[in-house]
Amino acid sequence: MSESMSLRPRRRFWGWGNLTDELLPQEQATIDGIMQLLGGASSSPPPPQESDFTLAAPLLQPPASLAPCFSNSTYDRLAHSYGKSFADVVRMWNRSVPNPPDWVAFPQDEQGVADILDWAARENIAVVPFGGGSSVCGGVEPDVGLSYRGVVSLDLERLDRVLEVDRISRCARIQAGVLGPDLEAQLRPHGLTLRHFPQSFQFSSLGGWIVTRAGGHYATLYTHIDEFVQSVRMVTPQGMLETRRLPGSGAGPDPNRLVSGSEGVLGIVTEAWMRLQDRPTYRASAAVLFHTFDAASTCLRALAQSGLNPTNCRLLDSAEVAFAGVGDRSSPMIVLGFESADHALGPWMERALELVRDHGGQYDPQAVARSMQAAEADDAGEHRKGAAGEWRDAFIRMPYWRDPMTGRGAVLDTFETAITWDHFADFYAGVKREMQEVLRRVTGRAAAVSCRITHVYPDGPAPYFTYATLGTDKNDLASSLAVWREIKLASIDVVTRLGGTVTHHHAVGRDHRSGYERESSPLYRAALAAAKQSLDPRGILNPGVLIDPVDRVVGITGAVGPFPAA
Ligand SMILES: Cc1cc2nc3c(=O)[nH]c(=O)nc-3n(C[C@H](O)[C@H](O)[C@H](O)COP(=O)(O)OP(=O)(O)OC[C@H]3O[C@@H](n4cnc5c(N)ncnc54)[C@H](O)[C@@H]3O)c2cc1C
């Protein structure tokens, strides 16, 4: 076996973070407390090691011309076997990796990507594009069925540079494999920011964001990455698809929108011109508590429809504030924030607080005043002081808690959606009620389902639900996976049946296909499949994700198992 060819700091192939990352003592204490409440195991077994795995030998050899950028080291194959969903982590902790990629390719440049696709198309080899590998819906799993000679995970980590900055139009040409912190570090000397901060910012890439239509941390106006894509270059098995740099165009259906959300099934995005913003210098934030969730959500709608466009406008229900340990740990809370590189925000905040008061919201005026004073920004360009900052710190650290809890038998996951305001109240109550029943039925235990609204639009919110429970047997990770699977399928059913979308920003991947097939028109999916047929006629790109290639039996298993036929 060869050495790893990744040039990045070594990540945990079995969970979130770099190998050397540690839990903070207070986080360990919180995890112990939660595990005690859940009744899980009192300590975690050792996390997986490379030596725990014996992977099947690769089924194929790359040609000599491409071999220098191909790795079959155990670490590289393990690190590209799954994304970072609960099911991915639990399967790793269970030492279960039946479908590793035969090889991992690290092309140096765009030509390298094109050469690999040419070879793969000729040789009937499936190619799974890999950015940061933070997919939570089976998007990077090389589980492609038996109709291919083998499968290569194609990692874009070496395409990681900002190539050109157009200060006049405030845009930059950026390679797709760059991860969030590195991208922001390259833009900072220009005084610019992409200002797209998903919770997975540290370990997710520009290309991954574009093709999954990722949602950033900001709650209104620019929420999805789509808004920032000016033009893209995508290598397909049939050649280069490039869109034009324009601020807007009415010439036919927008080709950028065909690429956004394509999840690696139409081509591999190698670079994009992205719209940037000046780094914000004015900030204001408030944490607002409400007596009832109804009052808080009505206020949220008023804020969303006010035209004030707060950058942060996030509602946490009682269960969520308790879980995140923020606010007074029990009252529904809105985290409200404004930012600007251009103007002081007093009038905006003042009007927003008037709306808050109209709906019975309570806040600390002195904390709001303090938040408006100059504050240092962290790497993500964020204001970290006050309750809003406190909440954000907890939010960024949460993924680190999941791995040790998974090892101790916990089953914890999230599901996210969007719905119009007219249906929201019934939807929220219905999802919480039905999912609590599902959790009780599947595990035999009561468990809370918490909700935060991550993004708000004038016409509706994007609610994000979290649950934590225990598998049927705390020492058996296979039982955790079975429990998760049943809850996952139920959540897809409940959310789509009650009128929401199967995903607001986590994408479809493999795991959400049953919901996608329920909510999208068969005619639309046929049109998409025809587009795929034009760009990838042999169906080698990311089989099993989003839509099936025409005339190809993919027959994947994946984390949720076979999904119903369309
Ligand atoms: C802890 C955690 C928090 C998260 N928080 C958020 C959040 O706040 N907002 C959000 O939107 N998502 C979030 N996600 C989900 C995930 O981070 C996003 O889907 C992200 O956009 C994936 O980017 P990536 O580079 O890691 O892509 P990957 O996981 O590597 O790939 C995702 C999909 O895109 C394809 N792909 C990747 N790169 C390319 C490319 N260059 N060309 C073509 N196809 C490609 C892959 O084949 C796969 O189907 C979170 C995930 C985790 C684990």
Pocket test for ligand 1, best of 12, 21, 113, 204 (most atoms within 8 A of CB): 204
Give the per-residue pLDDT at 155: 98
Let me know: does 103 contact 1? Beta carbons within 8 Å.
no
Give the per-residue pLDDT at 372: 84
Give the per-residue pLDDT at 542: 97
Question: Which of 248, 256, 147 minimizes the C-alpha distance to 554?
Answer: 147
How far is it between the farthest Cα atoms of the chain?
70
pLDDT digit string (tens) for 220-231? 888 999 999 999
* Number of Cβ within a 10 Å radius of residue 323: 22
C-beta of 265 in contact with ligand 1 (< 6 A):
no
Let me know: does 151 contact 127? Beta carbons within 8 Å.
yes
DSSP E strand boundaries for 471-562: none
Q: What's the N-to-C CA distance of the chain in angstroms?
A: 41
C-beta of 199 in contact with ligand 1 (< 6 A):
yes
Give the per-residue pLDDT at 564: 47
- For residue 476, pLDDT beyond 90: no
- What is the distance between the alpha carbons of residues 349 and 337, in angstroms, rounded to a whole number? 8
- For residue 167, pLDDT beyond 80: yes
Closest Cα to atom 22 of ligand 1: 208
| pLDDT: which is higher, 128 or 388 | 128
CA 135 to ligand 1 center in whole angstroms: 4
- For residue 377, pLDDT beyond 50: no
C-beta of 507 in contact with ligand 1 (< 6 A):
yes
* Lowest mean pLDDT across 14-18, 87-91, 383-387, 390-394: 383-387
Give the per-residue pLDDT at 390: 65
- For residue 419, pLDDT beyond 60: yes
* Number of Cβ within a 10 Å radius of residue 179: 22
Amino acid at 486: E
Amino acid at 78: L
Amino acid at 214: A
- What is the distance between the alpha carbons of residues 245 and 499, in angstroms, rounded to a whole number? 37
- The pLDDT of 75-87, averaged and rounded, is 97
Task: Give the atom of ligand 1 at the shortest distance from the alpha carbon of 85.
Answer: 53
- The pLDDT of 419-426, averaged and rounded, is 98
pLDDT digit string (tens) for 281-311? 898 999 999 999 999 999 999 999 999 999 9
- What is the distance between the alpha carbons of residues 380 and 372, in angstroms, rounded to a whole number? 18
Task: Give the atom of ligand 1 at the shortest distance from the alpha carbon of 156.
Answer: 41
CA 138 to ligand 1 center in whole angstroms: 10
Mean residue pLDDT of the chain comes to: 92
Give the per-residue pLDDT at 385: 52
Let me know: does 548 contact 564? Beta carbons within 8 Å.
no
Tokens 């079959």 found at: 72
Give the per-residue pLDDT at 203: 96
Give the per-residue pLDDT at 413: 96
- What is the distance between the alpha carbons of residues 152 and 124, in angstroms, rounded to a whole number? 11
Pocket test for ligand 1, best of 156, 206, 211 (most atoms within 8 A of CB): 211
Pocket test for ligand 1, best of 212, 213, 414 (most atoms within 8 A of CB): 212
- What is the distance between the alpha carbons of residues 89 and 87, in angstroms, rounded to a whole number? 6
Give the per-residue pLDDT at 391: 65
Give the per-residue pLDDT at 6: 96
Q: Which residues contact 142 (CB under 8 A, 6 or more apart)?
A: 80, 81, 99, 100, 101, 126, 128, 151, 153
Question: Positive or negative, the Cα torsion across 80, 541, 207, 315?
Answer: negative
